[in-house]
Copies of this chain bind each other. A is one copy, B any other.
Amino acid sequence: MDLKEKIIEVKSYLSQYEKLNQALSLIYWDMRTNMPSKAGESRSEVLEYLSGESFKMITSPKIGEFIKDLSQNKSEMNLQERRMLEELERNYNETKKIPKDRYVAFVGVCSNSELAWERAKKENDFEIFKPHLEKVVEFQKEFINYWGYKIDKYDTLLDKYELGLTTNKLDKIFSELKDGIIEILNNLKSSKKTIKRDFLFGNFDTKKQKDLSLLILEKIGFDLSAGRLDESIHPFTTNFGNKDVRLTTNYHEDEFTSALFSTIHEGGHGIYEQNISDNLENTGLQTGSSMAIHESQSRFYENILGRSKEFCSYLLPIAKKYFEDFKAVTLDEFYEAMNYVETSLIRTEADELTYGLHIIIRYEIEKELINGKITVDDLKGLWNKKYKEYLGVEPKNDSEGVLQDTHWSDGSFGYFPSYALGNLYGAQIFHKLLEEKPEVMDEVKNGNLTEITNWLKEKVHVHGAVYTPNELIENITGEDLNPKYFIDYLKNKYYKIYNIK
């Protein structure tokens, strides 16, 4: 059989695997958005069963043969085919190391743990979640033993989301980021500027917030005929192919920005997925380059665009149409309120500047937890201690503290750094965009983001996972990931807002 035929055979197999995983993702999406409360147990069983089938497919000897056959033809392969083989090999080898019954058990533990987290957050009680989280952490440690590790156990988890990332590399990046943030924060202390933002709090009818969210989504380039916006406790994005991309948000009647920026954030993820090339279907590459690159897009739309003066200038008149409270607000007031800097408790609602500290706290805690230096019992205390130390704030309850994020409930340890790296990637890409198209932000004032989205589509989105994150940032900007761009961006923006010379 020649290479072409073999590739067709592999893709045909992968297409079945892909369909099964689309089904799984949809069932999971439904669990988080729609499922009635009594169905948790039976839903977990469905997820376990299908995950087991998915496990069987990707660890099947057939995949081993595909890899062997394709590897013999590497020299004839084009880039996409080589990357397809690489990813297939990685997925096959990593998954095969885990015993199937343990994998399936983990899926069940996670789905119960997520529901327990939802209950715990609602009832403001970490104790409800704790026994579930303990199981999840034990599974993480067990899996790391299967996968193996060189220096730090946590490296194995980082690598899952960002190929080749290690604590060693990340410590340096985060140290530079932390120093930058602290420097800026210290400088802002000398500012006499007062920023009003009382008008962002009040009573904002959720139906109107929803209408506004949908309008803004379409405006930034999300295709609602190939996607949806729903509600869930913790906003997330999932997709089944590039023609059914689903975002969720979470409306708060008492304030204006939370749902809106969650929507724009998830919209950034969604636009990425929708724009990935059809040609990558059934290659395993019809997905983001890495989770940090994914977050670079969501954080880009949320902050660099969404909180820009140009976008505020477009948004304010619309906001005035929806909500009386903005009637007397000027553009400067609106823009400044959107970018008010304050050390605070909730990551997803943190300003752009202090956001990185929230991530660094989680990163430090996860490293210790995964390396067994602390246990789940220590989490709450350590969380509160670090928030006090880094941000000067203390949670009054579990929901605004250790329970605020969903990530640990489904075992996404190692994911949080992606958000901060996303900020760095995003700023570096934005710097390049402005170099190539210095006037590009002007049109944003009219709500026209087409040129920006098209540029991102061409540079980032269409390629899916054909390039690794390192290759992608090098291709676009001509250099490796460099925190300087983000720190410069922060200085530039916030010194201006706070009148720092």
Binding site for B on A (CB under 8 A): 15-16, 19-20, 22-23, 26-27, 30, 34-39, 41-43, 45-46, 49-50, 53, 223-228, 240-241, 243-244
Contact = CB atoms under 8 A, between A and B. Distances in A.
A42 B243 contact: yes
Contacts of A15: 45
13 contacts: A15-B45, A19-B46, A20-B50, A22-B42, A22-B46, A23-B27, A36-B225, A36-B244, A37-B225, A38-B226, A38-B244, A39-B226, A39-B243
A361 B22 CA distance: 41
State the majority secondary structure of interface residues on A: helix
Contact of A38 (B45, B49, B50, B243): B243
B23 A241 contact: no
Given A38-B244, A39-B240, A41-B243, 15 more contacts: A15-B45, A16-B49, A20-B49, A22-B42, A23-B23, A26-B27, A36-B225, A38-B225, A38-B226, A39-B226, A42-B240, A42-B241, A43-B240, A43-B244, A53-B53
**Ranked 6 nearest A-B pairs via Cβ:** A39-B244, A19-B49, A38-B226, A38-B243, A39-B243, A42-B241
A228 B19 contact: no
A45 B19 contact: yes
B26 A224 contact: no
Nearest to A29: B30
Given A36-B226, A225-B37, A240 B46 contact: yes
A282 to B, nearest CB: 10
Nearest to A46: B19
A67 B23 CA distance: 31
Contacts of A50: 19-20, 23
Contact of A224 (B34, B36, B43): B36
